Structure 1
Amino acid sequence: MTDLPIVGAALTLDSLDTHRDWLIERQRDLELQDFIDAEILDGDWHPLVTRLRALLDGYQGRMGIHGPFWGFTIASEDPDIRAVVTKRLLQGLEVCEALAATHMVVHSPFTTWSYTNMTKDPGAFEDVIERCHMTLAEAVRRAESIGCNLVLENIEDRDPAHRTLLANSFGSEAVSVSLDTGHAHCAHISHGAPPVDYYVRIAGNRLRHVHLQDVDGYADRHWSLGEGNIRWHSVFEAIADLQSEPRLILELRDHDRIRDSAAYLADLGLAQ
Structure 2
Amino acid sequence: MTSLPLLGAAMPLDTLETLRDWVIADQRDLELQDFTTAEVLCGDWQPLVARAQTLLQGYEGRLGIHGPFWGLSLANLDFEVRALVSRRMLQGLEVCAALGATQMVIHSPYTTWDYNNLDNYPDARDRVVSLVHETLAPAVRRAEETGVTMVIENIEDIDTDARCLLADSFDSPAVAVSVDTGHAHYAHGSNGAAPVDYYIRRAGTRLRHVHLQDADGYADRHWGIGQGTINWASVFDAVAPLEGRARLILELRDKAQILPSARWLAERGLAR
With normalisation by structure 2, the TM-score equals: 0.99
Q: Distance in 1 between matches of 2:153 and 2:56?
A: 25
C-alpha deviations, 1:27-67, integer Å up to 9, x for none? 00000000001000010100110011000000100010000
Unaligned 5+ runs, structure 2: none
Query: Which residues in structure 2 correspond to 1:57-68 (within 5 Å)?
Result: 57-68=57-68
Q: Pick which of 116-125 and 225-234 moved more.
A: 116-125
Query: Which residues in structure 2 correspond to 1:1-272 (within 5 Å)?
Result: 1-243=1-243, 245-272=245-272
Question: Are the equivalent residues in 2 in contact too, given 1:206–1:244 (CA < 8 A)?
Answer: no
Q: Distance in 2 between matches of 1:50 and 1:63?
A: 15
1:71, CA displacement in angstroms? 1.1
C-alpha deviations, 1:213-251, integer Å up to 9, x for none? 000011111000000000000010010022562000000
Q: Distance in 1 between matches of 2:9 and 2:159?
A: 26
C-alpha deviations, 1:84-107, integer Å up to 9, x for none? 000000000000000000000010
Secondary structure of 2:242 counterpart: coil
C-alpha deviations, 1:184-228, integer Å up to 9, x for none? 000001000000000011000100000000000111110000000
Give the root-mean-square deviation of aligned CA atoms.
Answer: 0.7
1:122, CA displacement in angstroms? 2.2
Q: Distance in 1 between matches of 2:95 and 2:201?
A: 32
Q: Distance in 1 between matches of 2:72 and 2:12?
A: 22
Q: Percent identity?
A: 62
Q: Distance in 2 between matches of 1:37 and 1:108?
A: 17
Unaligned 5+ runs, structure 1: none
Question: Are the equivalent residues in 2 in contact too, given 1:205–1:243 (CA < 8 A)?
Answer: no
Question: Are the equivalent residues in 1 in contact too, given 2:5–2:244 (CA < 8 A)?
Answer: no
Q: Distance in 2 between matches of 1:192 and 1:119?
A: 18
Q: Which runs of 4+ in 1 moved over 6 A?
A: none
Question: Are the equivalent residues in 2 in contact too, given 1:102–1:148 (CA < 8 A)?
Answer: yes
Secondary structure of 2:157 counterpart: coil
Q: Distance in 1 between matches of 2:70 and 2:84?
A: 12
With normalisation by structure 1, the TM-score equals: 0.99
Number of equivalent positions:
272
Q: Distance in 1 between matches of 2:263 and 2:93?
A: 33
1:119, CA displacement in angstroms? 1.4
Q: Which amino acid aligns with 1:242?
A: L
Secondary structure of 1:241 counterpart: helix
